[in-house]
Structure 1
Amino acid sequence: MALDRGLIDWVAEALAADGSVTHRRMMGGATLYLDGVVFAIIDGDGSLWFKSDAESDVTWEAAGCARFTHERGDGTVTSMNYRRAPEECHDDPEALRQWAMLGVAAGRRAPVKKKPASRKKRA
């Protein structure tokens, strides 16, 4: 399935007052960033998922938002710290903003991944 640019534009418009939304394509979908902070993904089916963590899980659970899972190549199922966006996020910009900012907060709390040290070229 093609990347849903309309959804990305909708998210960017709803969050325009909070910063700049950018994206990077990944596995048929996209990772979304707000001013460089990962806060959401769009999967290959065009579903929106917001970043979560132990601190925000209670809120996501109370809203009945499923955890993102996917099947690995070996057939095992694994989950990631993302939760399905509530339905109201697709037609209510304020609801989208509120849930997205929960994802942004989780993204800001996430540990920063260090890039591997590059090898020096041998002379």
Structure 2
Amino acid sequence: MVASASFAEFLRDQLAPLGHLSMRRMFGKTGVFCQGVMFGMVTEDTLYVRVDNHNRETFKEAEAYPPLNYAKQGNSIDLSFWRVPERLIDEPDELVTWARAALAAAHRVAATRTQAPPGRKAKSRSR
């Protein structure tokens, strides 16, 4: 389920220190973007943030909740997005800290996707 209009507006207000935020529907959920990089997802008005090996310790508290997942061919596939604890809704400074760590992880993921695998040249997009 996508983010409600009121929850999306709440997130824009709370996370304004990050810069320009945008949201768009993706796979029945809402992707949360900062300057074109997706660092979070919302489903059922619950925020999930991007996790990687560098910020996992910052999000230790979130390990108590199941990660964002989806069903594929009868299996549950966990994504690298962890649920933000509800208490952070009342802690805007800490919520922004979590969002910054998630945004940094999203930039690291984006950087690895733009690099060519070893032994292969990156494809040119111009023709």
> Shared fold (TM-score greater than 0.5)?
yes
- Aligned position for 2:81: 82
- Offset at residue 32 of structure 1 (A): 0.4
- Kept after mapping to 2: 8 A contact 1:23/1:32: yes
Deviation of residue 67 (structure 1)?
Answer: 4.5
Aligned to 1:97: 96
Secondary structure of 1:111 counterpart: helix
Structure 1 partner of 2:24: 24
Deviations 1:3-28 (A, max 9, x none): 31222211211222320110110133
* CA RMSD, 1 decimal: 2.2
Gaps of 5+ in 2: 115-122
Moved over 2 A (4+): 64-67, 111-114
Question: Aligned partners of 1:96 and 1:42: how far apart in 2?
Answer: 14
Q: By how many angstroms is 1:104 displaced?
A: 0.7
TM-score normalised by length of structure 2: 0.76
Q: Which blocks of at least 5 consecutive residues in structure 1 are unaligned?
A: none
Q: Normalising to structure 1: TM-score of the pair?
A: 0.79
More helix as a share of residues:
2
**Shift of the alpha carbon at 1:111?**
3.1
Q: Percent identity?
A: 22
